[in-house]
């Protein structure tokens, strides 16, 4: 946050850079609480812009567009980490901005991100920074096999290549155009998890329970949250590490940090997202305060209350592949939503995207119930109806 901000009560206007699904769900949460919303996004048909009171159709670096947003909004947030940090800096001259440009800039660069994790005492996978040919030549042999990740603009598995030999590493780095990268050693993975925290302007911090995640092809597929989703010791370590990372940034807003739990029970941090996260969508139907309400509260300077989970939950990510079936179909067909919604405890959230494409995030399905066995059974059945891979867990 750029400066101390008084409470912004309902009736104020909250702005967001980015018009995707996270901005849409933020706008819904803000509007439910009585706020007006303004979205800046270059897409005239963006999901968030379609439901917001104001939609500014400009690029994120357009000075006139930013001025219009600052003129409409009493405080401004972002819904994705690759919004230009200088735009947030520019807005912060006129309006409170959370998260701030400095935090977003760190999250945009894996090299700076890992340095921050280390400063906070949070373990990373063994890795090497590769910015020059000399760095490439100096990579230790024991970092192979590994994953080469571009330092910037990587998400959902993009900008990543597995490499097993020095020759493959050199070819992979050359294929990036020689941009700054991080090589991470491949480690024996047991499972993945994440934690979402919200930190207010006054330093108060609350968190959602640790979330167990399953990824397919680098994209989150399933999140499961209940008291036994992972050992208590690992869950507590993930929570405390996330709180340390947020505190080290003097962060204001909602922050998600993802972790790898290794075969020996140890844990290393993967990456952070300075925004609500796909793995926190379950909170919309299984908690009394969702991650998006927490985003509203942190931006408006409202008190933070610890979210209480009232139901075990499974979240299924819904990609555009569901509209095309398992073959090479090119004609989109609406999935059988009525059959899914006939199942107890199902909550469908579609993002208002007008065109389905393979790999595109179109929505998510939350399943809640009285006990995790019943929830899992319903989730498995829903997955079968939709044609999603089963089983839903590792």
Does the CA dihedral 64-49-297-272 come out positive or negative?
negative
The string of pLDDT tens digits covering residues 256-285 is 999 999 999 999 999 999 999 999 999 999
215 known ligand binder: yes
State the Cα angle at 159 between 291 and 171, rounded to 5°. 160
pLDDT of 3 above 50: no
pTM of the model: 0.95
Binding residue per annotation — 192? yes
Over the stretch 321-349, which tens digit does the pLDDT of each residue have? 999 976 667 789 999 999 999 999 999 99
Confirm or deny that 155 is annotated as ligand binding. Answer: yes
Question: pLDDT for 162-213, tens place per residue?
Answer: 999 999 999 999 999 999 999 999 999 999 999 999 999 999 999 999 999 9
153 is in an annotated binding site: no
271 belongs to an annotated ligand binding site: yes
pLDDT at 156: 57
158 is in an annotated binding site: yes
Confidence label for 6 from pLDDT (cuts 50, 70 and 90): low
pLDDT digits (tens, 9 = 90+) for 78-101: 998 889 999 999 999 999 999 999
Q: Give me the pLDDT at residue 86, please.
A: 94
- Mean pLDDT, the chain, integer: 94
Q: What percent of the chain has pLDDT over 70?
A: 95
154 is in an annotated binding site: yes
Is residue 134 very low, low, confident or very high in pLDDT (cuts 50, 70, 90)?
very high
Long-range contacts of 122-127, Cβ-Cβ distance < 8 Å, separation of 24 or more: 122/241, 122/244, 122/245, 122/269, 123/266, 123/267, 123/268, 123/269, 124/268, 124/269, 125/184, 125/185, 125/187, 125/260, 125/268, 126/184, 126/185, 127/182, 127/183, 127/184, 127/185
Residue 45's pLDDT is 93
Please check if 177 is assigned to a binding site. Answer: no
Structural domains of the chain sorted by starting position, each given as residue range(s) with its CATH number in brackets: 13-97 (3.40.50.20), 126-185 (3.30.1490.20), 189-386 (3.30.470.20)
* 131 marked as binding residue: no
Whether residue 155 has pLDDT greater than 70: no
pLDDT band at 218 (very low <50, low <70, confident <90, very high): confident
- One DSSP character per residue, 296-357 reads HHHHHTPPP----B-S-EEEEEEEGGGGTTTTT--S-----HHHHHTSTTEEEEE---SS--
Q: Over pLDDT 90: what percentage of the chain?
A: 91
Residue 149 is labelled as binding a ligand = yes
Residue 356 has pLDDT above 80, yes or no: yes
Rounded CA-CA distance 24/6 in Å is 25
The residue-averaged pLDDT of 307-333 equals 90
Which ranges constitute the DSSP H helices of 93-182?
101-107, 110-119, 133-137, 166-175
Distances from the Cα of 245 to the Cα of 92, 115, 241, angstroms:
23, 11, 6
Q: Is 156 annotated as a binding residue?
A: yes
Closest CA to 346 of 319, 320, 322, 381: 381
The reply to whether 114 sits in an annotated binding site is no
């Amino acid at each position: 946050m750029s400066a101390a901000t008084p409470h912004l009560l309902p009736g104020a206007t909250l702005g967001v850079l980015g018009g995707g699904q996270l901005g849409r769900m933020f706008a819904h949460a803000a509007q439910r609480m009585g706020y007006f919303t303004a979205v800046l996004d270059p897409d005239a048909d963006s999901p968030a812009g379609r439901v917001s009171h104001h939609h500014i159709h400009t690029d994120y670096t357009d000075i006139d567009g930013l001025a219009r947003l600052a003129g409409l909004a009493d405080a401004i947030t972002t819904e994705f980490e690759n919004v230009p940090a200088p735009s947030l800096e520019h807005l912060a001259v006129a309006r409170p901005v959370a998260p701030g440009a400095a935090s977003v800039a760190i999250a945009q660069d894996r090299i700076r991100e890992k340095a921050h994790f280390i400063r906070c005492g949070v373990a990373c996978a063994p890795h090497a920074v590769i910015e020059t040919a000399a760095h490439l030549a100096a990579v230790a042999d024991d970092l192979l096999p590994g994953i080469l990740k571009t330092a910037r603009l990587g998400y959902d598995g993009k900008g990543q290549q597995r490499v097993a030999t020095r020759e493959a590493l050199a070819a992979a780095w050359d294929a990036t155009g020689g941009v700054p990268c991080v090589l991470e050693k491949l480690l024996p993975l047991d499972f993945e998890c994440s934690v979402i925290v919200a930190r207010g302007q006054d330093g108060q911090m609350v968190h959602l329970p640790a979330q167990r995640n399953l990824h397919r092809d680098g994209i989150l597929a399933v999140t499961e949250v209940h008291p036994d989703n992972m050992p208590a010791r690992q869950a507590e370590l993930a929570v405390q590490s996330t709180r340390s990372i947020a505190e080290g940034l003097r962060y204001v807003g909602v922050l998600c940090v993802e972790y790898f739990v290794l075969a020996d029970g140890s844990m290393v941090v993967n990456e952070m997202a300075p925004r609500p996260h796909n793995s926190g969508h379950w909170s919309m139907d299984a908690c009394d305060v969702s991650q998006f309400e927490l985003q509203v509260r942190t931006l408006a300077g409202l008190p933070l209350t610890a979210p209480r989970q009232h139901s075990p939950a499974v979240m299924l990510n819904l990609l555009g592949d569901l509209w095309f079936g398992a073959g090479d179909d090119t004609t989109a067909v609406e999935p059988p939503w009525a059959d899914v919604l006939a199942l107890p405890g199902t909550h469908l959230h579609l993002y208002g995207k007008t065109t389905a494409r393979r790999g595109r995030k179109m929505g998510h399905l939350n399943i809640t119930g009285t006990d995790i066995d019943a929830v899992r059974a319903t989730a498995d059945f829903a997955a079968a109806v939709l044609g999603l891979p089963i089983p839903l867990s590792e």
